[in-house]
């Protein structure tokens, strides 16, 4: 899941190294346990990044968060709460463009889990209608955990239809924001859908992971975001989450949170960080364009437009299981069975070998069908 540089090394935002050094040399810092809820300045900075400083939900004091551990800490915490307090249903739908690991967390807690993808392997695209179909068939009162939903291009009318169905069925949304800004470079646009749900009067949870977008992979931090209908209800939920957090990890990690907070709370550093993030996104799109063009020049059968139509570092190649098996066994290119790969791992040193191998895999399987 790392975002890699052109040199094949893990990408780290340039500001991170500078801030890490400043923190290490700061004599005023102590290393006492953090509060159970975590670092308040980190939580507030994260919420502002997610919703915008002047958002309706922040101004009304009905959004809060708990500082969590790693990429899955927010799901562990949220699932514990829902198991105890959400009595409408113990059914969870995991809806994403890929198979998500946090389904196991809900299974371990006794939820009935159904996993659904809105990637259409036949049309080679993310199909919004597949998401709407799942909502239509889902039972009343279930939990919907939705990942990468910002990349599923719903029209305004489809968003309205989706929210209307979820509202009428009392479906509880639990969003996943694993890498805000890494799909388009536009931090606000990628979380705009959250404002739709706020405006329609939804209560929801959201896992906001921040490590990837700063390049702090070894210090996974994030928050469990809680949106409630009032400040009173928010405080009730947060008090219960604090009990679960105390039992799960007692004190969340501080160094990564301090680095991120230092950058987000400094307008100049935040501007530099945003520029570096945009540079990563531009590089991802350039890699995808090069892969598509090389496959075209090699005469690889089929259209490869779906590669550049997908957003983000991880995208589907659109290969069959037989073609993926060929890459793994014959060419030693180890990718998941679904053919969804990290394009930042492709660089000037390996792009020719990878595209040639993909072309061979497609031609080999085509010939084997004759």
Q: Which two tokens stand for residue 11?
A: 């990408």
| Mean pLDDT value of segment 247-256 | 92
- Position 30 confidence tier, pLDDT thresholds 50, 70, 90: confident
| Mean pLDDT value of segment 44-66 | 95
E runs forming strands in 140-282: 143-147, 172-177, 204-209, 221-227
The reported pLDDT for the residue numbered 219 is: 85
| Mean pLDDT value of segment 249-270 | 94
SS3 329: helix
- Position 365 confidence tier, pLDDT thresholds 50, 70, 90: confident
| Mean pLDDT value of segment 144-168 | 90
pLDDT digits (tens, 9 = 90+) for 101-132: 889 999 999 999 999 988 998 999 989 899 99
Question: Whole-prediction pTM value?
Answer: 0.94
| Mean pLDDT value of segment 71-97 | 91
The reported pLDDT for the residue numbered 54 is: 86
Percent of the chain exceeding pLDDT 70 equals 98
The reported pLDDT for the residue numbered 370 is: 45
| Mean pLDDT value of segment 159-171 | 95
CB 153 within 8 A of CB 314: no
| Mean pLDDT value of segment 162-188 | 94
Which residues are registered as beta bridge partners of 144?
93, 173
The reported pLDDT for the residue numbered 368 is: 54
pLDDT digits (tens, 9 = 90+) for 31-41: 888 999 999 99
Residue 46 confidence (pLDDT) above 70 = yes
CB 64 within 8 A of CB 234: yes
Distance CA 137, CA 275 (A): 42
CA distances from 240 to 174, 248, 304 (A): 17, 13, 49
Q: Which residue has the tokens 């700061």?
A: 26
The H or E element that residue 114 is part of is: strand 112-117
| Mean pLDDT value of segment 197-223 | 93
| Mean pLDDT value of segment 142-154 | 88
Residue 266 confidence (pLDDT) above 80 = yes
4 DSSP assignment: B
- Position 367 confidence tier, pLDDT thresholds 50, 70, 90: low
The reported pLDDT for the residue numbered 1 is: 57
Distance CA 304, CA 302 (A): 6
Residue 215 confidence (pLDDT) above 70 = yes
pLDDT digits (tens, 9 = 90+) for 273-325: 999 999 999 999 999 999 999 999 999 999 999 999 999 999 999 999 999 99
Residue 232 confidence (pLDDT) above 60 = yes
CB 65 within 8 A of CB 223: yes
């Amino acid at each position: 899941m790392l975002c890699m540089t052109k040199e094949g090394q893990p990408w780290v935002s340039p500001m991170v190294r500078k801030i890490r050094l400043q923190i290490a040399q700061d004599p005023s810092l102590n290393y006492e346990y953090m509060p159970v809820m975590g670092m308040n300045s980190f939580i507030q900075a994260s919420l502002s990044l997610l919703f915008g400083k002047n958002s309706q939900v922040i101004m009304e004091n009905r959004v809060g968060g708990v500082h969590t551990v790693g990429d899955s800490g927010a799901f562990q915490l949220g699932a514990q709460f829902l198991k105890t307090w959400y009595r409408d249903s113990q059914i969870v739908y995991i809806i994403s463009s890929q198979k998500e690991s946090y389904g196991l967390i809900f299974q371990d807690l006794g939820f009935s889990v159904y996993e659904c993808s809105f990637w259409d392997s036949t049309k080679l695209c993310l199909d919004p209608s597949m998401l709407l179909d799942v909502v239509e068939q889902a039972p009343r009162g279930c939990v919907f955990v939705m990942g990468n939903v910002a990349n599923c291009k719903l029209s305004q009318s489809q968003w309205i239809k989706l929210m209307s169905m979820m509202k009428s069925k009392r479906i509880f949304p639990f969003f996943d924001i694993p890498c805000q800004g890494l799909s388009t470079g536009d931090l606000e646009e990628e979380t705009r859908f959250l404002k739709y749900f706020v405006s329609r009067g939804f209560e929801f949870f959201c896992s906001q992971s921040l490590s990837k977008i700063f390049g702090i992979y070894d210090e996974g931090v994030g928050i469990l975001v809680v949106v409630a209908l009032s400040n009173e209800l928010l405080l009730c939920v947060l008090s219960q989450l604090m009990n679960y957090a105390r039992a799960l990890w007692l004190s969340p990690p501080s160094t990564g949170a301090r680095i991120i907070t230092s950058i987000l709370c400094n307008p100049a550093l935040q501007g530099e960080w945003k520029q570096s993030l945009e540079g990563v996104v531009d590089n991802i799109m350039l890699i995808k364009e090069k892969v598509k063009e090389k496959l075209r020049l090699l005469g690889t059968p089929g259209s490869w437009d779906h590669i550049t139509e997908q957003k983000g570092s991880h995208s589907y190649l659109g290969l069959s299981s037989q073609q993926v098996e060929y890459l793994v066994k014959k060419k030693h290119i180890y990718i998941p069975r679904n053919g969804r790969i990290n394009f930042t791992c492709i660089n000037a040193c390996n792009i020719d070998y990878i595209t040639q191998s993909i072309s061979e895999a497609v031609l080999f399987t085509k010939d084997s069908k004759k």
